[in-house]
Amino acid sequence: MSNTLTMVPAKSITDSDLEELRKALANMSKDSPLAVAIRQFLLSQDSSITVSSKDLTPAQVARLLKVSRPYVYKLMDQNLLNFHYVGSNRRISQDDLWDYVNRGEQGRSEYASALSNRTEDLRKIDQDAASYTEADRKELAELFS
């Protein structure tokens, strides 16, 4: 087995490649070195893989999430992003950041599913309404007047 990593441009990695990595990560031990490397890569989506067990500063998290540093502090203050103190400074573990990202993805997925279900319900109502006769429409109008 080779100890050399091949570097590839981040632009060449597709969304489906990233989804495959997420699926593979779900089946790995949380503490395995490969899982840590994949999590780090998915967080940064950078052109290189960096494995580090260091905690992250709010500024680093902001850069990874592509949000402002004050927004990261707001997430921490609202208990949406777990953190701990090192002295008087806040730090976020990579696992806590990964949990936050996964919760966000899960929430977006549930929201999309709910929208899809609602759209399907509206489509059924629309189809049912199209099959009403003029007499059915008059009867409904009388019921609601």
Domain ranges of the chain: 1-52, 54-145
* Whether 38 contacts 19, CB under 8 Å: no
Nearest to 93 by CA among 133, 61, 120, 138: 61
pLDDT for residue 53: 56
Enumerate helices (H) and strands (E) in the chain, giving the number of each. 6, 2
For the chain, what is the mean pLDDT?
80
pLDDT for residue 142: 85
pLDDT for residue 10: 63
Could you please state the CATH topology (level 3) that the domain comprising 54-145 is classified under.
Multidrug-efflux Transporter Regulator; Chain: A; Domain 2 (1.10.1660)
pLDDT for residue 8: 63
Distance CA 42, CA 37 (A): 9
Distance CA 31, CA 15 (A): 25
The one-character DSSP state at 3 is -
* Whether 56 contacts 83, CB under 8 Å: no
pLDDT for residue 9: 65
DSSP string, 89-105: EEEB-HHHHHHHHHHHH
Q: How far is CA 113 from the centre of its chain?
A: 14
pLDDT < 70 regions, the chain? 1-11, 44-53, 129
pLDDT for residue 49: 39
